[in-house]
Amino acid sequence: MKKMHILGIIVIAVAIGVILTSLQSSATYSDFTEATENPTTEYHVVGKLNKSIPIQYDPKINADECSFVMTDNKGVEKKVVLHKSVPQDIEKSEQIVLIGKMKGEEFHATEILMKCPSKYNDGQPQISES
Amino acid sequence: MEKVSYIGEHLWIGQLGHGFVVLSLVAALVASIAYYFHSKEGLQNEWKKFANIAFSIHSVSVIGIAATLFFMLFNHYFEYSYVWQHSNKEMPMHYILSCFWEGQEGSFLLWSFWNVVLGNILRKTIDAKWEGSTMAVFSLVQVFLASMLLGSYILDYKIGSSPFILLRENPEFANLPFVQNENYLAKLDGRGLNPLLMNYWMTIHPPILFLGFSSTLIPFVFALSGLWKSDYTTWQKSALPWTFFSIMILGTGILMGGAWAYESLNFAGFWAWDPVENSSLVPWLIIVGAGHVMIINRNKGGSLFMTHILSIASFLMVLYSTFLTRSGILGKNSVHAFTDLGMEGQLVIYVLTFIFLCVLLLIKNKLIKITYLVLSFLLLFLAILIGHKVSILLSWSLVTLGVTIYSYMKFFPKEAEEESLYSREFWLFVGALILLLSALVITYFTSIPVMNKLFQGWLYESEKAGIKVADYNQWMTPFAIIILFIIAIAQYFKYKNTDKKAFLKTVSIPLGLAVVFGLSATIPLYFLKDYSTASNTVKWNLISYALLFIVALFAIFTNLDYWVRVLKGKTKRAGASIAHIGFALLLLGALISTSKKQTISKNTSTKRVESLGEDFNAKKSLVLTVGDTLPMGNYLVTYTGKKREGIDVYFNMDYFTHNEDGKLVKAFELNPMVQDNPRMGTASNPDTKHFLSHDIYTHVTYGTLSDTQKARDDAYKEPTNFVGHINDTIFASNAIIRIDSITTNLSEEEYAKNDSLLIVTAVLKATDITGKIYRATPQYILKNNMVMPDEFELNELGLKFIFWKINPNEGSVEIQMAEKVNNVKDFIVIEAYMFPMINLLWLGCLIMVFGTTIAVIERIRLNKKTAEAV
């Protein structure tokens, strides 16, 4: 067998490895219901902040923890405990992605990604009166 | 609706700009066709002159577009959407360039501009033999880039996005009231450059990165010409200096991006494997591979197919990256993807067109060529007419893959002899292959959103999420180990074959040194921590990081040895050795600063959340109240206050350390900033103290940006209720309060006999921070079985108490306490890290760029020498 063939086989093996890893990896976008069913698995849950319930953050007690209520895309509402300091502008977010798992009735998240509204990003032309 | 005649608009300049866009597109198309015929009809013909004129017109037009846009920005023509969106009147003039390329249209223009610069150098310096074919492909790329600025509609489909659209014609704003005001311009100011981008990085990073993207085009056009002319070797000599130029400049651009992120973004590191970062790294990895296989080809011949694949793939990956980052497909996967301009379909078409072109040129049989061409167009029309785009795209991809493999087997020249394991070309080839493979793995993971779009609901149900930074690190470490190993040994091999004994003898000393140094540095680390209960991932990382450390040292030692001993210390010829030392230092710095990164801000909270797993136990946030001094790493740190400058709020922190006499002295101060950005909300900007051996990095994650409101200072906040007994303590923010005693004016019997008035007094002793004790005596007054409201104000401490309830059964009392607003001192929450040895990383970057530059100069010199010899 030629050395190039061995290299070829290695390349194919790595490729299969990558594909299998990513197909098996449980990192999928999901919702609270699925996360509740599998409390040991980590999920990315997409949803919206419930802005009517205040965000709890007391750095004097624990600066690495804040909690709020999020409604997932299926309309299920859960209390979220984020194990980080409170993200700035979370109250302005229009979509949130949380990475974490369910524990009892609470979703415990290690990471958060937020999208802010584009209107807020862009602003609009206004004629100043001054 | 009545037509409004607007005052003060400069419509001519937009028309001029748009005219330049159209002219640049037409001229590039004409140039492409003319160069095609020039290439077809041999060296001297009329087509050449014609093509050169067309390309010159194209060049002048592109410069004209840029000049027009620049003129508009400079003169604040806010009637134009691009000018309004990206600049304003207050902005300092030196940011004008940043405004120029802040938007998508501007960055496409920057790209096109660099292509024009490089294209003209290429056409002046290139061998006449290759001029027609390379410039034909080059001009075709320029046609596509010019169309990105067109902004015209063809059959309801918008092609490109023009920077010369009027504000009032921008569909986003067309219904706003200002459109009805004929004199709107007199009072209009621009939105301005995003304040987050108002720094020197934004002035230098984009032009260098885009020059890097542009430079990948040259190896691409050469490789395509090679396929076209069925001359697979001779182009490589001319392409080699260009390829190394590309490695140098694109590498600089990427590293600058890392430095920018490290200096002024808050993800506490220099690389986050964000799709935007990955999409510049992938073309670089591939072009590095391309450069190295070209060297094989120059010295010994061979590796032909690999050279073509890599030279082509690098540019195609730049196109694919453009699609990823600008089509909006990354959606929730990236924080800094560009906004969607609705060019998704167009960008896909571009990527596919160039893949199609490569395959078409590879086919040498007319019948297959025509069949493939017709089939491709049929599928395209089918996709337009009946939809089912995904399945059509997949079938086309399969056909393309099949045709490529068949054409390679059938038409492409192959090497007869097998390369020896002890030859330089073998290891260069393996190195290039590993680079390509690592690039593909990164691309695969970055493309997860694309796969969701293609396969979700068909191959799998739930939408896949991207992988994390730690996963990327884990995937890439083995690749880095192999690459460094090859970097270490490859130079000692000769082409064709090497004496084994001599090789082993030369390598054994640096290898021995690296192993001894490496093990003595890494083994003690193992005993610092108990790893017996660690997870497999942690153990795996430990081993792979130790290996990476040793192999990086090995690569540094061998390349130093090669430079000093074999090349006799001659810098001119040592470009490769120097660049490799730089690369190894870079990875060494990245390894040490990432794996030994220390969180020095320690959360002192007693709340434990370990039951959820190690990930959940972050403990990296430290609360600093103004005036307090807390230990942090080897320092004591004080938050002394904040200062507002425009929209930037700086938090001043003093770092103290003990001097030789054991006295506390101020070591340095840091001013991490939080920007109250009107366009993005708050943005945190770290501050870092650089030492030779390490950096102290600090950023504010939570802080109040406004000054505590003066007017409300004297007001009380919402009271809190305490239930307690005698001797219990209540904590206020500025004092500790003990319930000393509770007295009544009447005994229980007396009260039972005569129910007139009961007064119960709680005696509270409040101790403030200085130890001074104050007395407070709130009273519980019961008159005719009614509780009378009574407040006790302790003005010295800004506290108010209401004794409102007695629970006789529990023997407890309930007291409400309210604090004045100004009792609560300003505080911030910070994260602070120590990055050890991060300077190795930056030093490595500089050395690598320096080495590559030497290599480029040397390659140009060698090419000139051989040209003269001929």
pLDDT at B614 over 70: no
Q: Please give the single-letter amino acid code of residue B426.
A: F
Q: Which residues pair with B365 in a beta bridge?
A: none
The burial class, CB within 10 Å (0-12 / 13-18 / 19+), for B462 is: middle
Chain B residues 810-869 with CB within 8 Å of chain A: 827, 829, 831
B626 assigned to some structural domain: yes
Please state the domain count of chain B.
4
Last residue of a domain, one of B177, B198, B219: B198
B420 assigned to some structural domain: no
pLDDT of residue A119: 40
pLDDT at B751 over 90: no
Residues B732 and B765 in one domain: yes
- For B514-570, write each residue's pLDDT tens digit: 999 998 888 887 777 777 777 788 888 888 999 999 999 999 999 999 999 888 888
* pTM metric for this prediction: 0.87
Q: Chain A residues with CB inside 8 Å of B339's CB?
A: 118, 121
Q: What is the mean pLDDT of residues B605-627?
A: 69
Give chain A's domains with CATH numbers.
Answer: 27-117 (2.40.50.140)
Last residue of a domain, one of B549, B568, B595: B595
Mean pLDDT estimate for chain A: 82
The whole domain housing B727 covers 720-823
Last residue of a domain, one of B140, B168, B198: B198
Residue A64 is nearest to which of B187, B430, B621, comparing CB atoms?
B621
Cα–chain center distance at B547:
27
Q: Measure A111 CA to nearest chain B CA, in Å.
A: 9
- For B678-690, write each residue's pLDDT tens digit: 766 778 889 999 9
Question: Residue B524: which residues within 8 A CB-CB, separation 6 or more?
Answer: none
Residues B185 and B53 in one domain: yes
Question: Residue B626: which residues within 8 A CB-CB, separation 6 or more?
Answer: B639, B640, B641, B825, B826, B827
Looking at chain B, which residue has its C-alpha nearest residue A93?
B681
Q: Chain B residues with CB inside 8 Å of A11's CB?
A: 433, 437
Contact check, Cβ <8 Å, B607/A61: yes
pLDDT of residue B590: 94
Contact check, Cβ <8 Å, A88/B701: yes
pLDDT at A129 over 60: no
Residues B813 and B831 in one domain: no
The burial class, CB within 10 Å (0-12 / 13-18 / 19+), for B574 is: buried
**3-class secondary structure, A49:** strand
Q: What is the mean pLDDT of residues B268-275?
A: 87
**Contact, B682 vs B775, CB < 8 A?**
no
Q: Please give the single-letter amino acid code of residue B747.
A: S
Most confident region among B183-187, B599-603, B849-853 by mean pLDDT: B849-853
B604 assigned to some structural domain: no
Alpha helices by DSSP H, listed for B126-234, are 128-147, 200-215, 217-229
pLDDT at B624 over 60: yes
Query: With pLDDT > 70 as the criterion, what percentage of chain B qualifies?
Result: 93
Cα–chain center distance at A44:
5
pLDDT of residue A25: 63
pLDDT of residue A123: 63
Residues B84 and B147 in one domain: yes
Q: Chain B residues with CB inside 8 Å of A62's CB?
A: 603, 605, 607
B104 assigned to some structural domain: yes
Residues B143 and B23 in one domain: yes
Distance (Å, whole) CA B593 – CA B584: 14
Residue A128 is nearest to which of B187, B460, B621, comparing CB atoms?
B187
Residues B558 and B615 in one domain: no
Q: What is the mean pLDDT of residues B15-21?
A: 96
Q: What is the mean pLDDT of residues A24-31?
A: 74
Q: What is the mean pLDDT of residues B691-701?
A: 92
Mean pLDDT estimate for chain B: 87
Residues B48 and B183 in one domain: yes
B411 assigned to some structural domain: no
pLDDT of residue B870: 63
Distance (Å, whole) CA A56 – CA A68: 6
**Contact, B681 vs B825, CB < 8 A?**
no
Residues B689 and B735 in one domain: no
pLDDT of residue B709: 44
A106-120, B159-173, B377-391, B673-687: segment of lowest average pLDDT:
A106-120
pLDDT band at B407 (very low <50, low <70, confident <90, very high): very high
pLDDT at B66 over 90: yes
Check CB contact of B462 with chain A, cutoff 8 Å: yes
Most confident region among B109-123, B730-744, B795-809 by mean pLDDT: B109-123
B373 assigned to some structural domain: no
pLDDT of residue B561: 92
Looking at chain A, which residue has its C-alpha nearest residue B186?
A127
pLDDT band at B807 (very low <50, low <70, confident <90, very high): confident
Residue B603 is nearest to which of A30, A62, A116, comparing CB atoms?
A62
- For A62-100, write each residue's pLDDT tens digit: 888 899 999 998 999 999 999 888 887 788 888 888 988
Looking at chain A, which residue has its C-alpha nearest residue B437?
A11
pLDDT of residue B294: 94
Check CB contact of B187 with chain A, cutoff 8 Å: yes
Residue A125 is nearest to which of B173, B437, B441, comparing CB atoms?
B173
**3-class secondary structure, B736:** strand
Say which residue, A83 or B808, is predicted with more confidence. A83
Q: What is the mean pLDDT of residues B320-342?
A: 70
Q: Chain A residues with CB inside 8 Å of B181's CB?
A: 127
Q: Measure A58 CA to nearest chain B CA, in Å.
A: 10
Residues B745 and B642 in one domain: no
Q: Chain A residues with CB inside 8 Å of B433's CB?
A: 7, 11
pLDDT of residue A120: 41
Residues B666 and B724 in one domain: no
Check CB contact of B684 with chain A, cutoff 8 Å: yes
B477 assigned to some structural domain: no
pLDDT at A29 over 70: yes
B46 assigned to some structural domain: yes
- For B812-841, write each residue's pLDDT tens digit: 888 888 887 766 678 889 999 999 999 999
pLDDT band at B229 (very low <50, low <70, confident <90, very high): very high
Residues B57 and B117 in one domain: yes
Q: What is the mean pLDDT of residues B91-117?
A: 90
- For B67-77, write each residue's pLDDT tens digit: 999 999 999 99
Q: What is the mean pLDDT of residues B101-118?
A: 93
pLDDT at B746 over 90: no
Residues B832 and B813 in one domain: no
Q: Chain A residues with CB inside 8 Å of B464's CB?
A: 22, 25, 27-29
Provide the token pair at B734: 């500025």
Which of A62, A98, A99, A102 to mutate to probe the B interface, most B CBs <10 Å? A62
Contact check, Cβ <8 Å, A62/B682: no
Looking at chain A, which residue has its C-alpha nearest residue B456?
A28
pLDDT band at B711 (very low <50, low <70, confident <90, very high): very low
